[in-house]
């Protein structure tokens, strides 16, 4: 009857039924033995067994109930029966996560959504045991065989439900691959709903649980303040806007050069925010490179906190337009920082990128120079808190690989990947916005007068080729069969692997779990600031040779002669930029170049 295989802390009504049957069987067996082998039990009282059997059963059940109670679990879940008419399912995950799902499912007023036929755990030693009466049929690596057996036994193919949000990337990828190959429906537990399930999303493929940061310091930091967000209509900027709006600021200033993006974020705020007597936010169509326009806004609004998200972010476009990339990412940052200091704002936060670490392209160079600018400019300024926040790739952001892959899969393929070994760090949009605000609050409380760079601990980088294959599988296709994966070669200035930290950067932990900080002492900050200003002046005069020389002095590891960074087979694909070719930085910046 497998009574011994049940896990006590996960006892269910089915386990109690098995105990009852076991006690009845033992009682009947004892009567038979006494009757045939002990002179028809003449020397035994006939009332003993009828009395002991119920007491023994109650003792067995009571022991399990007490154990469940001591484990802090819900006792009521023990006494709920299954509905055999529900669709079948197989759970995959750790024993604790599967037990929690079974317990929560039976707490629904309407009953569970699925009839769970079997469990596939992460601990092979638990095979053969049961949780709440449901047998552990094997490990997650047995999904193909178990799915086939359950389907044959109950006729309808079961749904695979992943209950564990802490599965390592290799295990998760294997589950997705095998589910795709056998055509099994695959869902996961929805963390936002206690009893619900949902489809897998691309964010589940980064191989780690998204960081959930404490919002209390952010609310305290932003409440009642006048806050400016540049690039407020972008993927990250709009998410920052949403999170800041919920922190009850005095006034929210949305700066964006795209009218459409600004309209979208303004429209969304109108939907999610209660209608006040006067509007809490105000949208400004403005270009951060237009200093007179930005000064007009600063003078009128006098922001106390400036979150600088506006930037040129697309690597190939920046390679084709290096002057504009430097004007926006470096010149625009200088404009906003100068005005922040001039109008006595208390906090300035620059959103940077992992491409600023050992940069190999003009976008990374421009963001690294922006980091150096705030370090040099903020040196010994005690009345303002200045910091930068480094991101990995933001999933589903404008220009990232994920929307491109989704579009290519929708079109039937092929899915294009630059290099089979290329890897990137990924984070969700919510994580990126939370990191910005947490770093701002952290820097304001601890590091006034000392500029820092913050980064999120993001686990191991994700291989782009593997991400593409898993995304194809999530969409119900088989890679290299239904959808081809094509490797196009690294593009000019593109690195095979990105890094969050430089070799000489020693990050330290902060009191906020998951956030690291690096405080850089810029040698001779006055000279650095002077050279950055000379670069920006060179952009105005067209002195490209001096710019190239200054870039080499400020970032010695950067080689602007891209012939050494991109081999002929690493050129931009013709279908993406028909006229693209590998050229040097000075050639790109000559009059008549695309800018």
The predicted-structure confidence for 524-557, as pLDDT tens digits, reads as follows: 888 999 999 999 999 888 888 888 889 888 988 7
* Greatest extent of the chain over all pairs of C-alpha atoms, in Å: 116
Write out pLDDT tens, residues 34-47.
666 666 666 666 67
Write out pLDDT tens, residues 208-246.
666 677 778 888 888 899 999 999 999 899 999 999 988
Q: Which residue has the higher pLDDT, 319 or 569?
A: 319
Specify the pLDDT at position 6: 58
Which pTM was predicted?
0.73
Element holding 61 (H helix, E strand): helix 48-70
Q: Say whether pLDDT at 369 is over 90.
A: yes
Q: Say whether pLDDT at 57 is over 50.
A: yes
Specify the pLDDT at position 448: 57
Q: Which residue has the higher pLDDT, 270 or 592?
A: 270
Task: Give the chain's domains with CATH numbers.
Answer: 3-76 (no CATH), 82-200 (3.40.50.720), 216-588 (3.40.50.720)
Specify the pLDDT at position 293: 96
Q: Say whether pLDDT at 248 is over 50.
A: yes
* Mean pLDDT value across residues 407-425: 89
Contact 362, 325 (CB under 8 A): yes
Q: Say whether pLDDT at 2 is over 60.
A: no
Write out pLDDT tens, residues 99-156.
888 877 777 666 677 878 788 888 776 777 778 777 788 888 888 888 877 766 666 7
**Mean residue pLDDT across the chain:** 79
DSSP for 473-507 reads HHTT--BTTTB-EEE--PPTT--SB--SS-TT---
Lowest-confidence region among 163-177, 351-365, 485-499, 543-557: 163-177
Specify the pLDDT at position 194: 59
pLDDT band at 462; cut points 50, 70, 90? confident
Q: Which residue has the higher pLDDT, 507 or 254?
A: 254
- Residue of 497, 291, 510, 493 whose CA lies nearest to 389: 510
Contact 228, 306 (CB under 8 A): yes
**Distances 153 to 88, 90, 129, 136, 460 between C-alpha atoms, Å:** 11, 13, 20, 16, 41
**Distances 137 to 117, 127, 145, 160, 289 between C-alpha atoms, Å:** 10, 6, 10, 14, 63
The neighbour count for residue 161, using CB atoms within 10 Å, is 22
Instruction: Locate 117 and state its tokens.
Output: 């036929």
Write out pLDDT tens, residues 76-105.
545 555 555 678 888 888 888 888 888 777
Q: Say whether pLDDT at 268 is over 80.
A: yes
Q: Say whether pLDDT at 592 is over 50.
A: no
Specify the pLDDT at position 336: 96
Q: Say whether pLDDT at 368 is over 70.
A: yes
**Distances 56 to 23, 47, 494, 586 between C-alpha atoms, Å:** 8, 14, 72, 89
Element holding 349 (H helix, E strand): strand 347-351
Share of the chain above pLDDT 70, in %: 79
Lowest-confidence region among 291-300, 349-358, 378-387, 406-415: 378-387
Q: Say whether pLDDT at 331 is over 80.
A: yes
Lowest-confidence region among 111-115, 245-249, 451-455, 489-493: 111-115
Please enumerate in sequence order all residues whose Cβ is within 8 A of that of 136, keeping only pairs 6 or more positions apart, or say none.
95, 118, 119, 120, 121, 126, 127, 128, 129, 130
Q: In angstroms, how far is CA 399 from the centroid of its own chain?
A: 17
CA dist., res. 595 & res. 589, Å (int): 8
Instruction: For strands 226-230 and 197-199, give the pairing.
Output: unpaired
pLDDT band at 594; cut points 50, 70, 90? very low
Instruction: For strands 423-424 and 462-463, give the pairing.
Output: antiparallel
Lowest-confidence region among 48-52, 276-280, 448-452, 530-534: 276-280
pLDDT band at 475; cut points 50, 70, 90? confident
CA dist., res. 35 & res. 27, Å (int): 12
* Mean pLDDT value across residues 423-449: 81
Lowest-confidence region among 146-150, 313-317, 493-497: 146-150
Specify the pLDDT at position 577: 41
Specify the pLDDT at position 562: 45
Element holding 308 (H helix, E strand): strand 305-308
């Amino acid at each position: 009857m497998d009574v011994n295989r049940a896990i006590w802390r996960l006892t269910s009504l089915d386990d109690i039924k098995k105990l009852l049957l076991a006690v009845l069987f033992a009682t009947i067996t004892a009567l038979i033995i006494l009757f045939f082998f002990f002179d028809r039990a003449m020397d035994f009282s006939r009332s003993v067994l009828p009395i002991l059997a119920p007491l023994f059963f109650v003792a067995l059940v009571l022991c399990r109930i007490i154990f469940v109670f001591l484990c802090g679990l819900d006792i009521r879940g023990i006494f709920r029966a299954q509905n055999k008419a529900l669709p079948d399912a197989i759970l995959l995950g750790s024993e604790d996560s599967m037990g929690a799902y079974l317990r929560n499912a039976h707490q629904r007023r309407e009953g569970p959504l699925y009839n769970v036929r079997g469990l596939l755990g992460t601990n092979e030693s638990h095979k053969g045991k049961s949780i709440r009466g449901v047998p552990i049929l094997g490990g997650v690596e047995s999904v193909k065989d178990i799915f086939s057996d359950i389907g044959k036994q109950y006729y309808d193919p079961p749904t695979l439900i992943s209950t564990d949000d802490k599965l390592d990337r290799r295990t998760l990828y294997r589950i997705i691959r095998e589910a795709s190959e056998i055509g099994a429906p695959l869902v996961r537990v929805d963390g936002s709903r206690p009893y619900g399930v949902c489809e897998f999303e691309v964010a589940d493929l980064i191989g780690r649980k998204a960081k959930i940061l404490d919002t209390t310091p952010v609310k305290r930091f932003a409440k009642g303040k006048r806050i400016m967000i540049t690039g407020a209509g972008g993927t990250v900027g709009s998410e920052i806007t949403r999170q800041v709006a919920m922190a009850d600021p005095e006034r929210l200033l949305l700066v964006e050069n795209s009218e459409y993006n600004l309209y979208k974020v303004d429209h969304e705020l109108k939907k999610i925010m209660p209608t006040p007597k006067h509007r809490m936010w105000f949208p400004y169509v403005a270009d951060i490179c237009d200093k007179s326009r930005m000064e007009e806004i600063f003078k009128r609004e006098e922001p106390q906190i400036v979150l600088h998200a506006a930037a040129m972010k697309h690597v190939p476009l920046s390679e084709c337009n290096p002057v504009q990339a430097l004007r926006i990412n470096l010149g625009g940052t200088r404009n906003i920082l100068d005005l922040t200091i001039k109008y006595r704002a208390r906090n300035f936060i620059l959103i940077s990128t992992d491409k600023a670490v050992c940069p190999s392209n003009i976008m990374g160079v421009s963001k690294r120079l922006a980091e150096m600018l705030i370090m040099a400019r903020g040196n010994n300024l005690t009345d303002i808190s200045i910091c930068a926040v480094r991101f990995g790739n933001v999933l589903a952001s404008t220009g990232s690989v994920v929307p491109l892959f989704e579009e290519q899969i929708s079109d039937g393929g092929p899915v294009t990947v630059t290099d089979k070994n290329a890897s990137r760090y990924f984070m969700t949009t919510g994580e990126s916005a939370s990191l910005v605000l947490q770093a701002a609050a952290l820097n304001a409380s601890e590091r006034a007068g000392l500029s820092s760079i913050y980064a999120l601990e993001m686990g191991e980088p994700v291989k782009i080729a593997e991400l593409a294959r898993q995304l194809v599988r999530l969409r119900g296709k088989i890679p290299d069969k239904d959808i081809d994966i094509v490797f196009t070669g690294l593009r000019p200035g593109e690195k095979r692997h990105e890094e969050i930290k430089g070799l000489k950067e020693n990050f330290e932990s902060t009191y906020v779990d998951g956030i690291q900080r690096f405080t850089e002492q810029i040698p001779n900050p006055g000279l650095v600031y002077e050279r950055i200003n000379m670069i920006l002046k060179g952009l105005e005069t067209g002195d490209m040779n001096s710019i190239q020389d200054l870039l080499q002095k400020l970032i010695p590891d950067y080689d602007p002669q891209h012939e050494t960074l991109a081999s002929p087979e690493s050129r931009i694909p013709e279908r993406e930029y028909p006229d693209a070719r590998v050229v040097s930085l000075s050639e790109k910046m000559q009059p008549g170049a695309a800018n």
